């Protein structure tokens, strides 16, 4: 009797192992397959007042502001844009594996301060919105694998977020494509007139030390593929090396027919949860061994334009 029981258990364990191997042999759904099955309600259309259209000679860069996390900076940036502050300024700095930064070149070392664009109605200083209080009413999609820089990480409102439940604070994470606010040493010196986009490995040491204003949704290639500056910190040594900014407008300033038909997958959606699971356990003929882990900067909310998925 005992021999039969041992045999039955061995058969059962063998069956479970076989099923596990078979499940692992089945390729994980691709992002393309998951997005193709996403329901219309899982996509959101960003508010036109939160979308910046930065026109460069190479093409258009679309940035979504994050007023839920940095409301004062979002409001100040809108004021600057409506006053055409950025029109005619330039990309002044491209530091390899770090950031692309744009602001008024006359405000940098060696510039003519008398020729700087006036701030107009925009504020010169702002309280440092490096963190905010955790809002339990906001959707929260956690990642299960932990993080080196924060007790918790996940996604909220389409943005990568880190949290510290002990002090009740959360902050936007400095991942690839995120747009931060440049500042001097004083914490309140960043007003949104100088902005940067992360173009390299996520500089997480900047987390909760600089305000993060939003994220590039489209046109990231126009920021990441620029020539690197040869001066200190990637600043361009010559004015001729800078990329001019033709204009920056809010989508709400344009007629609907001229706006990008852009949508972002909700990070609280079942499809995004499935994407997280597929990224953690993904395997196919080329990647036979699942990693089983996922970092906060290893995945982002997909974007589509005219119904077609695009890379940011």
**Average pLDDT for runs of 10 along the chain of length 312:** 45 40 68 95 98 98 98 98 98 97 89 89 97 94 96 97 97 98 96 97 94 98 97 94 98 95 97 96 88 95 91 60
Q: How many CB atoms lie within 10 A of CB 100?
A: 28
The pLDDT value recorded for residue 24 is 52
Which of 186-190's residues contact partners 24+ apart within 8 Å by CB, and which partners? 186/125, 187/128, 187/130, 188/125, 188/126, 188/127, 188/128, 189/125, 190/73, 190/126, 190/128
**Whole-model pTM over 0.85:** yes
CA gyration radius, the chain: 23
Q: Residue 163 carries which DSSP code?
A: E
Helix (H, G, I), strand (E, B) or coil at 176: coil
* Per-residue pLDDT, 311: 65
The three-class DSSP label of residue 216 is strand
What 3-state class would DSSP assign to 274? helix
pLDDT score for 151: 97
Find the angle CA(156)-CA(277)-CA(30) to the nearest 5 degrees. 105
In sequence order, what are the residues at sequence separation of 6 or more whose Cβ sits closer than 8 angstroms to the Cβ of residue 108?
92, 235
Report residue 8 as tokens.
């039955």
């Amino acid at each position: 009797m005992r021999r039969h029981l041992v045999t039955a258990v061995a058969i059962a364990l063998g069956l479970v192992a076989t099923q596990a191997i078979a499940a692992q042999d089945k390729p994980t759904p691709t992002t393309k397959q998951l997005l193709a099955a996403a329901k219309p309600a899982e996509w959101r259309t960003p508010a036109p007042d939160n979308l910046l259209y930065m026109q460069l000679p190479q093409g258009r860069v679309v940035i979504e502001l994050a007023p839920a996390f940095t409301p004062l900076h979002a409001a100040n940036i809108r004021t600057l844009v409506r006053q055409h502050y950025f029109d005619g300024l330039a990309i002044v700095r491209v530091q390899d594996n770090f950031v692309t930064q744009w602001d008024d070149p006359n405000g940098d070392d060696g510039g003519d301060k008398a020729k700087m664009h006036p701030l107009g109605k925009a504020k010169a200083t702002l309280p440092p919105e490096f963190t905010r209080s955790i809002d339990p009413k906001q959707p929260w999609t956690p990642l299960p694998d932990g993080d080196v820089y924060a007790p918790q990480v996940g996604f909220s409102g389409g943005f990568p977020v880190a949290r510290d439940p002990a002090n009740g604070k959360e902050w936007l994470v400095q991942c690839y494509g995120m747009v931060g606010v440049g500042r001097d040493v004083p914490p309140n010196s960043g007003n949104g007139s100088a902005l940067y986009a992360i173009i390299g490995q996520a500089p997480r040491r900047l987390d909760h030390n600089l305000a993060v204003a939003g994220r590039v949704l489209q046109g990231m290639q126009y920021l990441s593929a620029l020539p690197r500056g040869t001066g200190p910190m990637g600043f361009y040594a010559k004015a001729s090396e800078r990329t001019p900014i033709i204009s920056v407008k809010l989508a709400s300033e344009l007629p609907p027919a001229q706006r990008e038909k852009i949508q972002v997958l909700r990070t609280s959606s079942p499809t995004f949860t499935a994407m997280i699971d597929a990224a953690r356990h993904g395997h196919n003929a080329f990647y036979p061994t699942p990693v089983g882990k996922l970092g906060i900067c290893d995945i982002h909310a997909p974007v589509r334009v005219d119904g077609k998925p695009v890379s940011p």
